[in-house]
């Protein structure tokens, strides 16, 4: 399916799961290299950039945070950009929310005849990537908010459940970092390359701005991962402390009841001369003695500050 958007002589063709005939038509219309057509039809899952005489091919793999059950997961979404002087082609196989939103904004600007300084398709590409990166920042901020909520629950005594929550958030951050790791190299290569002269010399400033925008995203990923590491360490410490306290109590109880069990075993020996067994109030005396012994052991532990 091809959605066409036009503004001031610039055409944006948005392809979603394009057919061979649709791609072939675009190849002939804009005189594109056949390998570009192959790229538009398939998902390479590898971010890259290629320069041609009259256009640039940019392939970006985006980490998208999606709802899954009661939690979230990061899925990879690829967008292929073919950027010419007066045309921009985007190709994808899945719905990408930020791209859909940009399409609505672009159409609204066209209808209202607002000046967004879109002199060529390079500017359209710039605004589009900025919108996509804004979505990545929003996802990272949502992860950060989830970590702050986890912090509250950690110090409220919910350490055990937070182990799974923190593990899920850690997986999301790892996936985001792995998917977005190639973006920096693409922008550096684009800034350094002279082959984008079709957009004018001042367009380098906009590419640097995209590079700086991604640098902010990378720094946010680092900061959120550091926060996650601190929370995991705190949660593990509190959980270990609580488990140690439980083990300590169980050990003390076992130590207290061990001599009582021994005394009980002694008085149940089937012998004729076992004291108190056949005496009046013998059972009561034995039990009072056992309670007194337990109290003495407990007092001794308290005195030694073992409990």
Structure tokens at 229: 């590491």
CA atoms within 13 A on the CB side of 97: 11
Residue 55's DSSP bridge partners are: 84
The pLDDT, as a whole number, for residue 112 is 46
Average pLDDT over residues 122-135: 86
Among left, alpha and beta (phi > 0; psi -120 to 50; other), residue 141 is alpha
Query: Residue 79: CB partners within 8 Å, gap ≥ 6?
Result: 59, 60, 62, 90, 91, 92, 96, 99, 132
User: Which residues are 79's β-sheet partners?
Assistant: 60
Q: Any residues with CB less than 8 A from the CB of 89 and at least 6 apart, and which?
A: 12, 13, 15, 26, 30, 40, 80, 81, 82
50 has pLDDT over 70: yes
* Cα–Cα distance for residue pair 142/297, rounded to 1 Å: 53
- With a CB cutoff of 8 Å and minimum separation 6, the contacts of 94 are 77
| Class of domain 2-241 (CATH, top level) | alpha beta
Q: Can you tell me which residue has the tokens 């073919």?
A: 82
Residue whose structure tokens are 């290299």? 33
Mean pLDDT of 259-278: 76
The pair of three-digit structure tokens given for residue 20, joined into one six-digit string: 């061979």
Instruction: Decide: 126 and 206 in contact? Cβ < 8 Å.
Output: yes
Torsion angles phi and psi, residue 155, rounded to 5? -80, 0
Note the pTM of the prediction, 2 decimals.
0.73
* Residue-range domain boundaries for the chain: 2-241, 244-303
Largest distance between two CA atoms of the chain: 113
- pLDDT at position 118: 67
- The C-alpha atoms of residue 50 and residue 59 are separated, in whole angstroms, by 9
pLDDT, one tens digit per residue, over 154-211 is 888 887 888 888 888 898 898 888 888 888 888 888 887 776 567 777 788 888 888 8
**pLDDT value at position 252?**
78
Under a CB-based contact definition with an 8 Å cutoff, are residues 81 and 88 in contact?
Answer: yes
* pLDDT > 70: percent of the chain: 92
- 18-42 pLDDT, tens digit per residue, is 788 888 888 888 778 888 777 777 7
């Amino acid at each position: 399916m091809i959605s066409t958007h036009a503004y001031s002589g610039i055409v944006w063709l948005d392809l979603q799961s394009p057919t061979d005939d649709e791609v072939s038509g675009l190849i002939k219309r804009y005189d594109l290299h056949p390998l570009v057509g192959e790229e538009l039809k398939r998902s390479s899952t590898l971010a890259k950039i290629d320069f041609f005489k009259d256009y640039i091919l940019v392939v970006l793999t985006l980490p998208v945070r999606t709802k899954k059950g009661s939690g979230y997961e990061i899925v990879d979404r690829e967008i292929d950009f073919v950027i010419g002087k007066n045309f921009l082609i985007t190709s994808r196989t899945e719905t990408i929310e930020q791209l859909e939103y940009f399409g609505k904004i672009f159409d609204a600007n066209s209808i209202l005849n607002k000046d967004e300084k879109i002199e060529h398709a390079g500017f359209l590409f710039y605004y589009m990537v900025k919108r996509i990166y804004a979505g990545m920042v929003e996802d990272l901020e949502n992860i950060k908010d989830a970590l702050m909520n986890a912090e509250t629950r950690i110090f409220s005594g919910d350490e055990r459940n937070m182990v799974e929550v923190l593990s899920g958030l850690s997986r999301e951050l790892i996936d985001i970092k792995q998917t977005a790791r190639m973006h920096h190299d693409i922008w550096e290569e684009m800034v350094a390359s002279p082959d984008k002269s079709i957009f004018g010399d001042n367009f380098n400033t906009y590419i640097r701005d995209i590079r700086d925008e991604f640098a902010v995203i990378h720094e946010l990923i680092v900061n959120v991962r550091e926060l996650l590491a601190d929370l995991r360490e705190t949660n593990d410490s509190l959980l270990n402390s609580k488990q140690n306290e439980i083990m300590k109590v169980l050990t003390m109880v076992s130590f207290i009841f061990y001599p009582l069990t021994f005394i009980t075993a002694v008085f149940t020996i089937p012998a004729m001369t076992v004291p108190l067994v056949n005496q009046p109030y013998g059972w009561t005396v034995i039990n009072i003695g056992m309670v007194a012994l337990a109290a003495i052991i407990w007092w001794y532990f308290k005195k030694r500050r073992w409990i």
